[in-house]
Structure 1
Amino acid sequence: MKVVAFKRELQGTGASRRLRISGQTPGIIYGGTEAPVTIALDHNALYHALKKEAFHGSVLDLELDGKVQKVLLRDFQMHAYKQLVLHADFQRVDANQPVHVKVALHFENADVSPAVKLHGATISHVANEIEISCLPSALPEFIAVDLSNMDVGTSLHINDLKLPEGVTAVTHGNNLTIATASVPAGQVSADAAAEEKK
């Protein structure tokens, strides 16, 4: 995905406010061997890009003064109630250096799992993203989570995930829970009552 940016000379609250009024969003590019550069981006293009999941978890081509550099979206600030992007931070990436990024989880096959199919259980998604480390070229858009083997009372953890080649989960020593399967409380008592009537 491509982002077009312009160098921003004026800084400060007033300059940023004027930028936003003119339909642009202030931002910054940092990291790597070069100094940080303050930039301006087209607000509408950025706002719509932020709605795409791939924009958050992909290496982006950022064009600045005719030169393209590889960056990751690191942070952005939204207005409290307006549909307005206030600021965006991008980090330069080196093709030979691993990056640490949060990537979305896509849950699949819940409807064919024993928990749902046989017991009418509910599978709760405890986490919707995980932190990973990999080279920029190996960065996945998302990580698929196969729920087809989940049964009632079981949990799926980070260590159970099948990660793409070259990708490792950053767990900080914790095997965090990703999903759990449990039967809703009302259903358990209804099943018990049905058993008693037999």
Structure 2
Amino acid sequence: VQTHPWKRELYHISFFCPSGQKPVEVVVPLKIVGQAVGLTKGGILEQMLTEVKVRCLPERIPDFIEADISGVDIGKNFCVGNLTPPEGVTVLDEPQKTILTIVPPRKL
């Protein structure tokens, strides 16, 4: 998609049809599920990533990837390497990249 820098006018859109036999790289949103242990203790969730880049066949592109944060405690991180992508889907982001962290509540 190409747009004018400040007029918000559309100049050009390109569409493509990927081959079903060749993997594609796409960005997929993350869906946070579960109740983090740290949140029940009063911690605050700080999310750094809302999406990840994946490689898969076009028919296997997921609508989202779930991030089950049930075991995350205060002071701990949930990283890309903790994700369990669907079968046939490879996450391309670095495994040590932080998705979210549970921080202690601020004292007033």
With normalisation by structure 1, the TM-score equals 0.49
Among 157, 166, 169, the alignment partner of 2:91 is 169
Once residues 82 and 15 of structure 2 are traced to their aligned partners in structure 1, the CA distance between those partners, rounded to angstroms, is 32
SS class of match (1:159)? helix
1:40-79, Cα deviation, whole Å (9 max, x unpaired): xxxxxxxxxxxxxxxxxxxxxxxxxxxxxxxxxxxx3566
2:32 and 2:68 in contact (8 A); partners too: yes
**Please, what is the CA RMSD of the aligned residues?**
2.1
Unaligned runs of 5+ in 1: 1-75, 191-198
SS class of match (2:46)? strand
Matched with 2:36 is 113
With normalisation by structure 2, the TM-score equals 0.85
List 4+ stretches of structure 1 deviating above 2 A: 76-82, 87-92
% identical equivalent positions:
31
Larger RCO of the pair (alpha carbons < 8 Å, separation 6+): 2
Amino acid paired to 2:71? N
**Which structure: greater helix fraction?**
1
Unaligned runs of 5+ in 2: none
Give the aligned length: 107
Once residues 155 and 107 of structure 1 are traced to their aligned partners in structure 2, the CA distance between those partners, rounded to angstroms, is 13
Is it true that 1:135 corresponds to 2:60 in the alignment?
no
Amino acid paired to 2:30? L
Is it true that 1:178 corresponds to 2:103 in the alignment?
no
